[in-house]
Structure 1
Amino acid sequence: MTRRTHAALAAAIAAALTLGLGACTSTGGSKDDANQGGVTTEGNGIIGGTPVKGGTLNILSNVDFDQLDPTRNWTMPVMDFGVRTLYRTLTTFKAAPGAEGLKIEPDLATDLGQSSDGGKTWTFKLKDGLKYEDGTPIVADDIKYNVERSYSPELPGGPDYARTYLVAPADYKGPLGGQRLGKESIETPDEKTIVFHLQRPVAEFGYTVTLPTFSPVPKAKEAGANYSNHPVSSGPYKIESYDRGKRMVLVRNTNWDPKSDTVRKAYPDKIVVDQTLKGTGVAERLITDQGDDQSAISYVDLVPSKISEVLTNPEVKKRLISENAGCTTKLDMNNTKAPFDNAKVRLAMQYAVDKEAFAAAQGGPAFTDVATTYLPPVLTQGAPVDHFLIKPGGDPTKAKALLAEAGFANGFATELVTSTGGKQQAEAIQAALKKVGVEITITTVDPTAVSSITGDKAKQPGLSIGGWCPDYPSAATFLPMIFDGRTIKDKGNQGNVTRFNDPETIADLDRIAAMSDVQQANKAWLELDAKIMDKSPAVPLAWAKKPLLVGSNIAGAFAHPVWAGQLDFAVIGLKTAK
């Protein structure tokens, strides 16, 4: 593949994102209705102008980072935080709102990658003078080592792209036992060159290497599962202290060279993450906006109970950023657990769920749209697709008829697991399913524990509430990740939470992946989305916006389209250093 083809691909994806962003504020109602979500329009969508250098940025949260090991970091907004503050990748996304934020730039690499062998071989050269926080040089083998770590069963939960794309032995188990991949998989002919050999052409591989899997990890600092406590920094900040679940302090990495990094501006001198806040604590502090909280941002979404208080106060509302996250929230059914191993039961759930009530529990139409297919509008050329044409409130009569056909005329009982913050949404599902004879027992757990339950076949109940965000705006990072049966694991199962394993779908995934024409592939992804909807491994529930409050002294804050509407930590800072 030539560089010109790569540029054409980038333009095609950017065009799709532009359409998607345009649709975020046009889902019914007037323009004023659409803006009730608090989408900030100051200047070019950036709050507070350009930050000053210095001061302390405070991040207020109620949850610990689930995983900061770059091999295992595959959740939003942890990925955003990791790749913008602690580690760099071969390429990365531009720090800009809207369609500009989709464009990729070289990061550790000197360019966006050179492909050969019809797009099956990709070569990257590293920039000069790259160093870790301790001054040790970053070399190509460090990136190879981290990619190899993604194969390790001891380090589950990370992106599957390397294992899916790379030529590698079927029984390879990672480097922790001393086994490295050979030249047929990844070559490092010198300290500044890394060559990836893929099983098939991947036109988007320049985007794939934006993921933290493709950041460097020095073998000498390997700590296995404990590496998450202190990943060795290649970015602008390093960890000074980390008391898990309580507080993290980042300070400048003096060995990071801003001349080699065109994206991260590293405005604050220090970043302090407070993870001890509970319930409405984050919102209350940012609404009050006193002292250090004026220089603070929210890491977590604005809770529904505080929405009215924010929207009715003009001074607070102008500090609210709320953009469509480009993600789909789903009711995941464990397809290996009765009665959800019955396709007709799963189809009945499509009609039984009251998505309107679920959306209301998330804050209403100002903060979420009802989802009508798996692919979010950002991946369907900006226009939402309504596959079943079911009313947002559901169709209990149709659901009961389908359950009767499936042999469950009297309903059934099952368990739903969700995070403590998702109880209200779970209760909306519980109430709707009760109308068709399905009794739901809700189990709430700490947010950091959800994936350890839903990802463990032995522990996973019948239902869970989850979601998926594309790693970049291409359905290739969406449908294969959540519906390819070959990715299912007994433990550490991260993407295909439904455990949907359908040979016809797998064949379609491979057929579309082999297409070199982006437009043809986009059409095929839409068709496959419809086919999977008919098999109903999950119920799409909502396309949420991400409402985030910031303090009055914050500058450079905007929602990044790639990071699921999260603030871009690469360029955020303060109006006045404090």
Structure 2
Amino acid sequence: MFTHRKRLLASTAVAALAASLAACGGGSSDNGSSSGDSTEAKAGGTLNYYIFAPYEHVDPQRTYVGVELTNFRRTVYRSLVAFPISQDPDVANTPVPDLATDTGTANADSTQWSFTIKDGVKWEDGKAITCEDFKYGASRVFATDVITGGPNYLLTYLDIPTDPKTGLPAYDGPYKGDGQDLFDKAITCDGNTITYKFKKPWPDFPLAVAGLSMMDPYREDKDQGNKSNYQIFSNGPYKIEGSMWNKNKGALFVRNENYDPSTDSTDIRKALPDEINFNVGQTTETIYDQLIADSGDAQYAITSQRVPPAYYSQITGAVADRSTLVPSPYVDYLVPNVRRIDNVDVRKALAMATNKAGWIEAGGGEKAYTPADSIVNPAVVGYQPNPAFADIPDEGDPDAAKKMLEDAGVTLPYPIKFTYPQSDTMDKMAAALKQTWDAAGFDTTLDPLGDTYYDVIQKPDKDSDIVWAGWGSDWPSAITVTPPLFDSRPNLSAASDGQDYGGYKSDAFNKLVDAAQGAASLDEQTKALQEADAVLGEDVAYIPLEISQFYFLHGSKVVGFTTTPASSSYPDLGAIGVEN
């Protein structure tokens, strides 16, 4: 049920490894601060935002990629609560009120949450945002045949019975309306107070609301179903010029005259530029040619594209003063196919022989990646280094791995096929792994895939022994990492492995997932998830590789440039302005 999200996030990581490594990089700044800016950010002017690949969705209930979520939530969409602008993870990962008066009230076991909507908040046409707008927005998530591509956690959490024929909730969204009475009991309005009732505890529900846009309000009279995919009807400080985002060109955001800043906070949105011009379609190389030259509109430009490694040598001197290097929210990892490598000692030997350092160096070095010691990103609540990988050097240890293979009693060399998304850079990175794997006693066949990848590695009958994957959390909690990736129950079927690419199945792990999902407190949830990750490590259900680094450059007239945990480490439009 989490298929599309995982594919989108992982494809973001694939893009970091594709042909020109267009999305990879590092920089001169060692944090997300306003790199090299000395001018105080003021209101006014036009900010240019350069984008390479078209966005697939701008509909709030369908938007599910980090850069898109952060761009829209800071400009045109508001929700009950939001993550503030801060580089302090404790602050940045703590929701603050946005359209709600506070961060919500839960019952004793967190199976019910209530929020009261602020007075005076309006849509771009001046009409008030109501409780019913929030309820209708949530209802759209259940129209799984129309509102596709977005997060669908509500389908498993909201207190609606499951249809035994389909396995889906008995409510099918506002377009068909089957089971509407069930939905109306699960989400209720009392004046301006909205209450959500869940079938199991959801202690981090405010984190989910702040991290995703699935709970955003939506006006029923503006809903055209699938035709609304590129429609933007704003309740934020900006509105789109016209009403539709152009998939291949972008859009111009201008001031929303019905936005009242007194209902908002500059901790969330400073809304400094008068206009934000989203320009879609230029290649990463073209974008960086302009940013490095720093002339014309590029002086007032930012981008979500990472510096290509081929351009690293040009980021020096005054140019480097406009660069920023930050860790991304994404972890890349390897997945052994436990159906084919069913001996855990062989999997442990494979992990011992894995050369993370060589992989990273081949991919661009420290400006592109930093080593990972868990599949959970360090910025996520619940992170801790996985103890199973603590004694493995980043370079791997082929000698120790060979001894482990010999002790396992398997015939050497042990044949394995490594499947990964093909690019010139990925070929070099895969070769670095093959070198130490083969030195340890494996016989590695490299299996690069071109145009298609995830539909291949999700097949239960694939002949891959180990595959590459990438992941980022849906909100800053490990509940959105290990359970959706390794819980066999929602993933494994006769037709697909879902996101459990290695076909991993563990009753011990699943029991800990149940404990985490049933926990009434975040502390209880975190403890269960950390124990679950330790089980994954002991079983070598995954092998951590690295955390992608984000390396950005911006124009010299950009002021207050920053990246934050709330912006998924992309440029944070809540803080950025231009000289004017």
TM range (shorter): 0.7 to 0.9
Aligned letter for 2:518? A
**Structure 1 segment 329-368 matched on structure 2, within 5 A:** 329-332=332-335, 339=340, 346-347=347-348, 349-368=350-369
Which residue of the partner structure matches residue 166 of structure 2? none
The within-5 A match list for 1:17-32 is: none
Q: Specify the alignment match of 1:528 in structure 2.
A: 532
For residues 493 and 271 of structure 1, the distance between their equivalents in structure 2, rounded to whole angstroms, comes to 42
- 1:272 counterpart = 2:264: no
For 1:452-491, what aligned pairs fall within 5 Å after superposition?
Answer: 465-488=468-491
> Where does residue 394 of structure 1 map in the other structure?
396
What secondary structure sits across from 1:525 in the alignment? Answer: helix
Where in structure 2 are the equivalents of 1:305-454 lying within 5 Å?
305-310=310-315, 313-332=316-335, 339=340, 346-347=347-348, 349-379=350-380, 384-385=385-386, 387-388=388-389, 389-396=391-398, 402=405, 409-413=413-417, 415-417=419-421, 425=429, 428-429=432-433, 436-445=442-451
> 2:394 corresponds to which letter in structure 1?
P
Change (3 A) 1:339 1:235: farther
Aligned residue pairs total 533
Whole-Å separation in 2 of the counterparts to 1:416 and 1:475: 25
Distance change in 2, residues 1:444/1:285 (3 Å): farther
Q: CA RMSD in A?
A: 3.5
State the shift of 1:114 in Å: 1.4
Contact 1:322-1:565 within 8 A present in 2 as well: no
C-alpha displacement of 1:553 = 0.7
417-426 vs 160-169, which deviates more? 417-426
Name the CA distance, whole Å, in 1 between partners of 2:296 and 2:497: 43
When residues 515 and 556 of structure 1 are mapped into structure 2, their CA distance, relative to the original with a 3 A threshold, is same
**What's 1:103 paired with?**
94
1:42–1:111 CA distance, 2 compared to 1 (3 A):
closer
> Are 2:291 and 1:286 aligned?
yes
1:190-209 residue pairs with structure 2 within 5 A?
190=191, 192-209=192-209
CA contact (8 A) 2:36 2:321 kept: no
Asked if the contact 2:63/2:69 (under 8 Å) is kept, the reply is yes
* CA separation of 1:497 and 1:546: change in aligned 2, threshold 3 A: farther
What SS class does the counterpart of residue 61 from structure 2 fall into? coil
* CA displacement 1:357-398 (0-9 Å, x = unmatched): 221234312442211222233348887455322222234456
Candidates 37, 40, 44, aligned match of 1:54? 44
Match of 2:177 in 1: 178
State the AA in 2 paired with 1:85.
Answer: T
Tell me whether 120-129 or 324-333 shows the greater mean CA deviation.
324-333
Deviates more, 1:489-498 or 1:531-540: 489-498
Instruction: Give the Å deviation of 1:124.
Output: 0.8
Which residue identity does 2:446 align to in structure 1? I
Instruction: Could you tell me which runs of 5 or more consecutive residues in structure 2 were left unpaired when the two chains were aligned.
Output: 1-25, 164-168
Instruction: Measure, in 1, the Cα distance between the counterparts of 2:94 and 2:381.
Output: 19
CA 1:272/1:455 → structure 2, altered by over 3 Å: closer, same or farther?
A: farther
CA distance in 2, matches of 1:94, 1:341: 46
**Normalization by structure 2: what TM-score?**
0.80
Would you say 1:260 and 2:263 are equivalent positions? yes
What is the identity, as a one-letter code, of the residue corresponding to 1:571? A
Change (3 A) 1:132 1:201: same
Matched with 1:503 is 507
Compute the displacement of 1:227 (Å).
2.9
Cα distance, 1:431 vs. partner? 6.0
| Partners of 2:410 and 2:327 in 1: CA distance | 37
Contact 1:55 1:269 in 2 (8 A): yes
Q: What SS class does the counterpart of residue 297 from structure 1 fall into?
A: strand
Shift of 1:525: 2.8
Which of 121, 134, 138 aligns to 1:130? It is 121
Kindly provide the amino acid, as one letter, of the partner of residue 193 in structure 2: T
The corresponding residue for 1:65 is 55
For 2:189, the equivalent position in structure 1 comes to: 188
Relative to 1, partners in 2 of residues 1:406 and 1:518: Cα closer, same or farther, differing over 3 Å?
A: farther
* C-alpha distance 81-347 of structure 1, shift in aligned 2 (>3 A): farther
Q: Which range is displaced more, 500-509 or 101-110?
A: 500-509
Structure 1 stretch displaced more, 415-424 or 83-92: 415-424
Q: Structure 1 residues 147, 333: CA separation in 2 closer, same or farther (over 3 Å shift)?
A: farther
Residue deviations 1:151-204, cap 9 Å, x none?
Answer: 3332344334323432122132531422334344211234x2210112233332
Cα distance change of structure 1 residues 205 and 422 upon mapping to structure 2, 3 Å threshold: same
SS at 2:302's partner residue?
A: strand
Q: Counterpart amino acid of 1:559?
A: T
Deviations 1:105-148 (A, max 9, x none): 11111111112243221111111233333444322233223323
Instruction: Name the CA distance, whole Å, in 1 between partners of 2:60 and 2:318.
Output: 38
Contact 1:334–1:463 (8 Å) recurs in 2: yes
TM-superposition CA deviations, 1:81-112 (whole Å, max 9, x none): 12222311110011222233233211111111
Letter in 1 for 2:155: R
Q: CA deviation at 1:279?
A: 4.6
Deviation for aligned residue 1:41:
6.6
Deviation at 1:510, TM superposition (A): 1.6
* DSSP-derived class of the 1:77 partner: helix
2: CA distance, partners of 1:285 / 1:228: 31
Match of 2:75 in 1: 85
Contact conserved, 1:433 with 1:440, CA < 8 A, in 2?
A: no
Q: Deviations over 1:504-525 (max 9, x none)?
A: 2121012133344544543443
Residue 275 of structure 1 aligns to which amino acid in structure 2? V
- Counterpart of 1:168, as a letter, is I
**Residues 243 and 511 of structure 1: CA distance in aligned 2, closer, same or farther (over 3 Å):** same
| Aligned counterparts of 2:296 and 2:496: Cα–Cα separation in 1 | 42
Pair 455,140 (structure 1): closer, same or farther in 2 beyond 3 Å: farther
Change (3 A) 1:407 1:244: farther
Look up the equivalent residue of 2:158 and give its one-letter code: L
Seen in structure 2, the aligned counterparts of structure 1 residues 457 and 574 have a Cα distance that, compared at 3 Å, is: farther
**Alignment partner, residue 139 of structure 1:** 130
Q: Deviations over 1:413-463 (max 9, x none)?
A: 464236898665456556666663221222244xxx866776788999776
CA contact (8 A) 2:82 2:96 kept: yes
